[in-house]
Amino acid sequence: MKNLTKTLAVLVTILMVSCGDEKKEQETITIGEEGTIEKIDTRDEDQTAADNVESGEAIQRQDGVVQINLTGDDMMKFNLNEIRVKAGETVRLTLTHVGQLPENAMGHNFVLLKQGTDVVDFGQRAATASGNDYIPEGTNNVIVHTEMIGGGEETTIEFTAPEAGTYDYICSFPGHYIQMQGKFIVE
């Protein structure tokens, strides 16, 4: 029975490796004392990259500039749900779309809203502003925003952090604000 279990574990491993797509996958397979598979963890390179950003590379301070590395993916998720800076700091925010879908299907941007902005109302108005990176014409609710980008693209903006307080940030692509939002906390 032990040999059958070990053989099964090897076959499952070979099957998983051979059935993968062109993306590099990181696999962890844990085999217990009896030769049984206890755990299989398969993550694609996009998720691994997002995990690396979350592990301390997402916000860095150097030469008076706060570098924020924000990612968005095809699952409509930012890697950060909270960003902390100090009032008056120079912020350089790089948004990277780590997914593969094009801008017209799964575009992402970063929109920093003024305090007191109703996120739902703003998001609904933004959904009709397709010709303007989904930023409503004439709005006074936006402090700063990036351009809209698609899978594999990256954009960077630089701005001065506003006065102390808590601000919302979202992706304004239609419907994304529901999941893709966070708090921009200025101390």
Q: Which amino acid is at 10?
A: V
SS3 at position 53: helix
pLDDT, average across residues 65-79? 97
The confidence band for 57, taking pLDDT boundaries of 50, 70 and 90, is confident
pLDDT at 155 over 50: yes
* Nearest CA-CA partner of 76 in 54, 57, 101, 58: 101
pLDDT digits (tens, 9 = 90+) for 102-142: 999 999 999 999 999 999 999 999 999 998 999 999 999 99
Domains belonging to the chain, first-starting first, are 2-43 (no CATH), 58-186 (2.60.40.420)
- Straight-line distance from the first to the last Cα atom of the chain, in angstroms, rounded to the nearest whole number: 62
103 vs 173: CA distance, rounded Å: 9
Query: What is the Cα gyration radius of the chain?
Result: 21
The confidence band for 56, taking pLDDT boundaries of 50, 70 and 90, is low
Under 8 Å CB-to-CB from 137, ≥6 apart: which residues? 129
121 burial type by CB count under 10 A (0-12 exposed, 13-18 middle, 19+ buried): exposed
pLDDT digits (tens, 9 = 90+) for 36-49: 444 444 444 444 44
Q: Which two tokens stand for residue 137?
A: 């014409």
Q: How many other C-beta atoms are found inside a 10 Å radius of the C-beta of residue 15?
A: 10
